[in-house]
Amino acid sequence: MSFALSFPVTGNPTEVLKLVERSLPKLEGDAVRVRMRYAPVNPADLNFIEGNYGHPSHPPAIPGHEGCGEVVAIGSQVTSLAKGDVVIPLLGAGCWSQHLTAAEHHFVKLPSSIDPIQASMLRINPVTAWHLLNQQVDLQPGDWVVQNAANSGVGRALIQMAKKQGFRNINFVRRAELIPEMLGLGADAVFLDTDQGVSEAKDLLAHSPVKLAANAVGGDSAIHLMELLSQEGLMVTYGAMSRRSLKVPNKYLIFKNLRLHGLWITQWFEKASRAEIQSVFELLAKMVLDQELVTAVDSIIPMKEYRQAMARAQEGGRQGKVILDLA
């Protein structure tokens, strides 16, 4: 028997989530059974439980878009994984469970020495940051990138990756006390997400071109990014933290000819080849091992205290991710 967190109906995660006991399926063919160790609580997970995510949840369902665990058993046809391997699932749901059973192609093997807590947070935010920097425009070392929500999971990862790849970055945050931390991660410049902050960023740029902006907020914050983008620059929206629609003043389309794209990393996973996915995780895992990529952790909370974890994950002012300990 094994325990999992499940919700019978959509709604407030602190109210509808339940700890349930379930039997393990028989292991056959190319199936792999993983003992899950840690899983973060992401906004996407909360939206999934609430019924507001891009993919319908179809309750009863087990949430959890990412996590990390260890292979404990394999089917007779499995060739790429062995008992004891450290893996992360690519299923997109179901990670808030002590055991996860799926076909071997739904898992990616990681180095055995990797920190399992950091590994549990690799699939969404770091991959999104990698995609923003490497799949949107042709960036060269020394080029400028701008982003809002710099203290978010994607924002922190983007700062660290940009530093490694030689891209200069301008970052916007909502609270002044966050600025020293962002600079410590390797940010070239950090400003408050205000009109004054935009003016200061312009002074720093001194007409240097800005090809790419990463938008996780929407509303007026997105306008700040558009103001800094150069002619025919690209703004990629991957989140909507303000819950305000994207407003595009006509002048940015007419006189700058800005391009506006969206990014939902789930769709990249659905289309990318196995070799491409593996190569990205090899890169990210090496950065973690070299301590060049560190994802902030707010708290680690036992699975049985899931209501506390859900409440904390919905609070503002956290210092990082809430992690479920699935032991």
Kindly list the catalytic residues. 53
DSSP 197: H
Closest CA to 187 of 215, 213, 161, 209: 161
Strands 168-173 and 189-192: parallel
- Residue that has been written with the tokens 């996780």 in this structure: 216
**Cα(149)–Cα(216) distance, rounded to whole angstroms?**
6
Please name every residue paired with 190 in a beta bridge, in sequence order, or none if there are none.
Answer: 171
Peptide bond into 180 cis (omega under 30): no
What the block records as the tokens of 197 is 């902050």
CA 52 to chain centre: 17
The half-sphere exposure of 8 on its side-chain side, counting CA atoms within 13 A, is: 4
Closest CA to 96 of 42, 53, 52, 30: 42
Residue 263 contacts residue 131 (beta carbons within 8 Å): yes
Count CB atoms within 10 A of the CB of residue 101.
Answer: 20
Residue type, 144: W
Reported residue count of the chain is 327
What the block records as the tokens of 23 is 């039997």
**Cα(157)–Cα(17) distance, rounded to whole angstroms?**
30
**Cα(189)–Cα(95) distance, rounded to whole angstroms?**
36
